[in-house]
Amino acid sequence: MPLAHFESGGVARNTDCDYSSAYISIFTDGESPLVGHGMTFTIGRGNEIVCQAIAVLADKLIGRDPEDLFKSMGKTWDWLSSDSQLRWIGPEKGVIHIAAGAVNNALWDMFARAQGKPLWKLVVDMTPEELVDATAFRYITDAITRDEALALLRAKEMGKKDREAIVREVGYPAYVTSAGWLGYSDDKIARLTKEAVAAGFNHFKMKVGADVESDLRRGLIIRSIIDDPQYLPPGSKGRDPNNRELQGKNAGPTGAVLMIDANQVWDVPQAIEYVKKLEPIKPWFIEEPTAPDDILGHAAIRKALKPHGIGVATGEHAHNRMVFKQLLQAQAIDVCQIDSCRLAGVSEVLSVLLMAAKFGVPVCPHAGGVGLCEYVIHLSLIDYIAVSGTMERNVLEFVDHLHEHFLYPCSINSKGRYNVPSNPAEGYSIEMHKQSIAEYEWPNGSYWVKTKGQ
């Protein structure tokens, strides 16, 4: 279902974003029927192809006992992804993989609802052994074995309750991209940046890659505001740029951090030369500087930019856990950016969280599309409470549009941090309002019928 055409801004590569979702609901029969909802995000054309792939994969669930599937979600994930004929059209990438993500996410949603817990709480309450059994390990044991994962999780077990209490109280750190889209006027950039600072955010991201002079001008406008104490919320003194959380992030005098995102627009040499020219705006990292599956290209860019104090981040278009494995093994990234729908659901996300924790790389998930913010707060909470044990250097992307379509929308507190999902009925937080589906489902939703009439 296409939900909104993003007309007010854009990115260097994806210039025509029609925010869309391939959405699935699965049901059980019997005396106590269960339901699970899942989705994957697209930007328009091709959404119908993903829906067809979801339907084919979901057919495999017919006749299965959900309790058997829940016993080992890692084995369930492996079974769902191992159909030899369907796998051929991946394998484990592209349309078939993101379709598998929607189905796997729906199963996890059903599992959490059956237990009466939000998804993150379901997972962090698992024992280390149960969490390992819920994880996809095929093809990554050269980076982390099941025994290593078990030892890592056991080491974090003791502090889980304390970390859960802390994050419930203060929220999970967020960053905002609201002012950073290409195509905004300078006045709009300044206004939106001031609003974001006043809302408590201190990490900001802007899109780059169309024109270096324009990027410098826009970046300096943002910097002039986020580095100026006069725009801070009343009573706030900002943050110490020298504290541990901000070291290596090129934080300004108020402790504000700027990141930049090219959305894959450059070849490797272009990326290096272009980003060097943006050094005056002091970015923490360049996100997606080149093709998302070019591991050695990212490694070369990171090596070349390190003397300039600029890191490298990627992951929203990383096909699968094996790409993340190689990015980490090649020391190609400073920040790991998982996507809740590009990866094939929670079980594969868990494998990336475990690898990133072993390699000591912070996970800052991508959340730029419809439903992604609702999803990824659960994943970041799992990472902090059960896996990495830290949120000091982590920030989770937040965008302020399209949350109205969900029964359990995410929210931000006055400090610019995500609130912790706490409704025991919400599962993975992705259930849509029936009215949104009735209005926007393609091609027979009321919005589209009306549009055709015009």
Which is the catalytic residue, given 37, 207, 249, 358? 207
Token code pair at residue 411: 């929210």
358 is catalytic: no
Token code pair at residue 386: 């059960």
Q: How far is CA 261 from CA 126, 204, 266, 328, 365, in A?
A: 36, 11, 11, 20, 14
Helix or strand or coil: residue 405?
A: helix
CA dist., res. 215 & res. 279, Å (int): 11
Print the SS3 string covering 212-254: HHHHHHHHHHHHHHHCCHHHCCCCCCCCCCCCHHHCCCCCCCC
Q: Which residues of 415-445 are buried (b: 16+ CB within 10 A; e: fewer)?
A: ebbbebbeeeebbbbbbbeeebeebbbeeeb
Measured between its terminal Cα atoms, the distance across the chain in Å is 19
The per-residue DSSP string of 325-381 comes to: HHHHHTT--SEE---TTTSSSHHHHHHHHHHHHHHT--B-----STTHHHHHHHHHH
207 is catalytic: yes
Q: How many CA atoms lie within 13 A of 430 on its CB side?
A: 37
Element housing 58 (H / E)? helix 47-58
Cα dihedral 50, 349, 74, 32 in deg (nearest 10): -70
Which is the catalytic residue, given 325, 366, 378, 405? 366
CA dist., res. 143 & res. 149, Å (int): 10
CA dist., res. 385 & res. 373, Å (int): 18
CA dist., res. 106 & res. 109, Å (int): 5
Place of tokens 């981040």: 313
Helix or strand or coil: residue 34?
A: coil
| Residues labelled as active-site residues | 207, 366
